[in-house]
């Protein structure tokens, strides 16, 4: 990809950084933690969110199930510890004197911490309600190691990120700007955001749509969108809904995105107030007055395209005296990369260079491929049917009207033609017959259905509509192909409105509903889809559970899906026991 306005490393280096960034964060002396580090954080044992407020410091500790188990079990040189005691000791905060933490809320997910983890809110009040100019944050690495080595920390001031999903390797001092929390910063210059200004933009370039996202502070957007707020400092509950409406309409009108020199018409997808959490960026509805300098709003727009474009241009207009550079993070099927725009170079450019990239090989995922019918299970049956057809024709061939001298040769010729034609019809699927020698039980059907479903997901992720439609033909019969493509694509790939990519699927439950005489089988199938979704520049793992009645049958020597009747789908809630995840 070529970005005219970017300071960009080689694309391959960016991909390597993307694949190994989590390792980098954990092992380097200092972590350059930024607003959208691209790290999938669901598997990190200990997640800590520190938020400096007016009266004290709110710390949320999110422990994975394995971390809770290790704490409660202890070890050879470690005493067992409750999650509450861990939470009171894992972070030491000083503001001229050590602050004393108190537990505000301790929630064991699913009422059993060792099953699904635990979330604890701890508060460190400032003495005498003073607002310190600096605080020191010192993680207990001994306790973090006891919980499972890896951890991440988010540090915010009034909800605005100072560092996002990084690590501290020693006690660090945070300088607090109470007038404008965005400019609070660590004295250690290595601990900083990549985004200096409170305006961020993200671009998701997909095969059939382009999504643009904005994260902007109310303080900046108020002037640009002419919000006409009644206060210069605060926004109030009766203004919240109107602010969202005006900001959405403003950015919808301002967005200037073109694909292959054609200006795209955007659709407003969502507008949210957003804030940092221990695990991700969260959309929320504020319930009380908010400071303009500490309130972020996010807007998502979608632009429909027929195929992955050859070139995308995004003309940026939102600058002011303070904001002279806006960072843009772009995602395409090959990975992610960073760029920026300025008043002098306000156009972000992306060029499609994916033609020579094997995306499946790049991601290391399973490749799509047709599923052949095992020849050993049906070849003998083909010959048997052909012989029957030949025998049925013998009475006609042996009639007394044929000259006796040529009778034998004519009989032999017709029999051979009959056998060849019958075999050809069956092999091409144009003559579908009972294949009693094919026994497809649930266990044998699992890998067949898994590959067929995987092929569908891969087709839906194709970068060209024609290619996607052709790829579906490898796994889906002609009558179903158009319906599946037009009606089911979004339901297959829907992930809470976020940019998504399927990583794996697993058949969870399978039940043969009927075995039909023409060689077709109807299964009640439940499968789990594991994917990666990216929203507001953050990457997370998602698991969705699907259930459908699927009818498969041999055609042209390959298994094909002839019927797919959806029964339901739901996002898997990791706090819910597996047996209750999907209600039949």
Residue pair 483/324 in contact by the 8 Å Cβ criterion = no
Distance CA 367, CA 332 (A): 19
pLDDT digits (tens, 9 = 90+) for 495-553: 444 556 788 889 999 988 876 656 788 999 999 988 877 777 777 777 888 898 999 98
Name the pTM for this structure.
0.65
The side-by-side arrangement of strands in the sheet containing 347-351 is: 262-263, 256-259, 311-315, 347-351
Domains in the chain, ordered, with CATH? 32-186 (no CATH), 199-357 (no CATH), 379-427 (no CATH), 438-580 (3.10.450)
Residue with tokens 């965005």: 182
The length of the chain is 584
- The band of 12, judged by pLDDT with boundaries at 50, 70 and 90, is very low
Predicted pLDDT of residue 13: 35
Residue with tokens 């060792």: 114
Predicted pLDDT of residue 24: 28
pLDDT digits (tens, 9 = 90+) for 304-358: 887 789 999 999 999 998 899 999 999 887 778 889 999 999 999 999 888 776 6
Weakest mean pLDDT among 47-51, 117-121, 133-137, 457-461: 457-461
3-state secondary structure 315-358: ECCCCCCCCCCEEEEEEECCEEEEEEECCCCCEEEEECCCCCCC
- The band of 208, judged by pLDDT with boundaries at 50, 70 and 90, is confident
Q: Is 455 helix (H, G, I), strand (E, B) or coil?
A: helix
Distance CA 57, CA 49 (A): 10
- The residue with greater pLDDT, 584 or 489, is 489
Annotate 129-166 with b (16+ C-beta within 10 A) or e (fewer): eeebeebbbebeeebbebbbebbbbbbbbbbbbbbbbb
Distance CA 432, CA 374 (A): 16
């Amino acid at each position: 990809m070529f970005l005219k306005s970017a300071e960009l490393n080689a694309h391959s280096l960016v991909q390597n950084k993307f694949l190994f960034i989590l390792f980098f964060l954990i092992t380097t002396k200092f972590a350059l933690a930024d607003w959208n580090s691209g790290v999938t954080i669901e598997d990190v044992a200990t997640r800590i969110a520190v938020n400096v407020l007016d009266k004290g410091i709110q710390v949320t500790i999110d422990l994975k199930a394995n971390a809770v188990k290790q704490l409660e079990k202890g070890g050879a040189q470690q005493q067992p510890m409750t999650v509450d005691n861990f939470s009171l000791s894992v972070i030491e905060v000083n503001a001229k004197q050590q602050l004393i933490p108190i537990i505000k809320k301790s929630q064991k997910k699913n009422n059993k911490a060792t099953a699904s983890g635990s979330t604890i809110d701890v508060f460190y009040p400032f003495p005498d309600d003073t607002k310190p100019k600096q605080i020191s944050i010192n993680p207990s690495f001994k306790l973090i190691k006891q919980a499972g080595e890896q951890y991440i920390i988010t540090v915010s001031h009034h909800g605005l990120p100072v560092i996002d999903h990084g690590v501290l390797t020693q006690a660090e001092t945070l300088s607090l700007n109470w007038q404008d929390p965005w400019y609070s910063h660590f004295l250690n210059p290595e601990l900083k955001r990549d985004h200096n200004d409170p305006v961020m933009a993200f671009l998701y370039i997909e095969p059939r749509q382009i999504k643009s996202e904005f994260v902007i502070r109310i303080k900046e957007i108020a002037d640009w969108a002419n919000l006409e707020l009644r206060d210069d400092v605060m926004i109030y509950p009766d203004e919240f809904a109107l602010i969202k409406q005006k900001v959405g309409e403003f950015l919808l009108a301002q967005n200037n995105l073109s694909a292959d020199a054609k200006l795209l018409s955007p659709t407003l997808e969502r507008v949210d107030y957003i804030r940092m959490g221990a695990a991700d960026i969260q959309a929320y509805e504020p319930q009380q007055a908010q400071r303009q300098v500490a309130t972020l709003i996010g807007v998502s727009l979608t632009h429909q395209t027929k195929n992955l474009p050859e070139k995308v241009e995004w003309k940026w207009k939102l600058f002011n005296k303070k904001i002279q550079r806006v960072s843009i993070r772009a995602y395409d099927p090959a990975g992610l990369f960073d760029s920026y725009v300025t008043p002098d170079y306000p156009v972000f450019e992306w060029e499609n260079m994916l033609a020579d990239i094997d995306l499946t090989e790049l991601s290391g995922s399973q490749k799509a491929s047709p599923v052949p019918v095992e020849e050993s299970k049906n070849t003998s049956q083909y010959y048997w049917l052909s012989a029957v057809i030949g025998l049925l024709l013998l009475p006609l061939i042996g009639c007394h009207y044929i000259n006796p001298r040529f009778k034998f040769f004519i009989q032999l010729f017709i029999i051979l033609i009959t056998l060849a034609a019958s075999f050809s019809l069956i092999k091409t699927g144009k003559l579908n017959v009972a294949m009693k020698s094919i026994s497809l039980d649930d266990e044998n059907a699992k890998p067949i259905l898994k590959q067929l479903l995987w092929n569908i997901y891969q087709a839906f992720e194709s970068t060209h509509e024609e290619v996607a439609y052709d790829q579906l033909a490898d796994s889906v019969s002609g009558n179903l192909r158009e319906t599946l493509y037009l009606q089911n694509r979004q339901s297959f790939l829907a992930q809470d409105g976020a940019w998504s990519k399927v990583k794996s699927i697993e058949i969870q439950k399978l039940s043969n509903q009927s075995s039909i005489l023409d060689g077709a089988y109807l299964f009640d199938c439940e499968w789990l889809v594991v994917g990666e979704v990216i929203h507001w520049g953050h990457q997370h793992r998602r698991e969705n559970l699907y259930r459908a009645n699927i009818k498969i049958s041999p055609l042209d020597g390959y298994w094909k899906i002839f019927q797919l009747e959806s029964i339901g789908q739901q996002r898997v809630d990791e706090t819910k026991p597996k047996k209750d995840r999907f209600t039949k």
